[in-house]
Structure 1
């Protein structure tokens, strides 16, 4: 029973992490990608790299693995002192690698049913 509770807690925390990322950046980024073939292609390339890195390129990553990956990217960006401008001020046609990677995480989370 404890194992089931621990697993449920991990899944709940992972979904909360992904939901927060989606609210912060993903919704705006995915809307922009829907309107720009170039941005969508870049996001898709990042999503493919993430699927490969997490070991399940066919079905996509599980919620806990994807949230862990998102947290790792976030932590690395904080350590590098990288800051994202407000989404309303972003030039989506010049989105930087971190922005693309984070949007790709949101895309995978949505496509895999984790949100």
Structure 2
């Protein structure tokens, strides 16, 4: 499953729309897998903490706009390097790459920001 960066351009979509699309494409499956794979859950949590630090919101919820902007930039760089969103079965999530885990973490942060 490929998520072209051009389809996730924050200038063309709302922050909410970008994050919703990302969640449908990778976040829902990744968060479900993290709920049953402790090592993935720990990785997602670590990435979420790193994103909060990078966005300067340690201890607070990042805004949807900040998360969408970060996701857009991450996807641009990753797709430029040939990254494509994986199509994992549950076992495949155990070895998920860093970009994929970071995007799942972004989806989890967006879920929390909307709660």
- Please give the TM-score of this superposition, normalised by the length of structure 2: 0.84
Q: Which has the higher helix share?
A: 1
Consecutive unaligned residues of structure 2, counting only runs of 5 or more, are 1-10
Moved over 3 A (4+): 87-90
Number of paired residues?
Answer: 104
Q: Does residue 45 of structure 1 match 2:46?
A: yes
Question: How far, CA to CA, are the matches of 2:37 and 2:60 in structure 1?
Answer: 25
Q: Which residue of structure 1 lines up, in the alignment, with residue 55 of structure 2?
A: 54
Instruction: Provide the alpha-carbon RMSD of the alignment.
Output: 1.8
Cα displacement string for residues 53-83 of structure 1 (whole angstroms, at most 9, x for unaligned residues): 0011111211111100000010001110112
Q: 1:102 to 1:90 in 2, by over 3 A?
A: farther
Report what 1:94 is aligned to. Answer: 95
Structure 1 runs not aligned, ≥5 long: 1-9
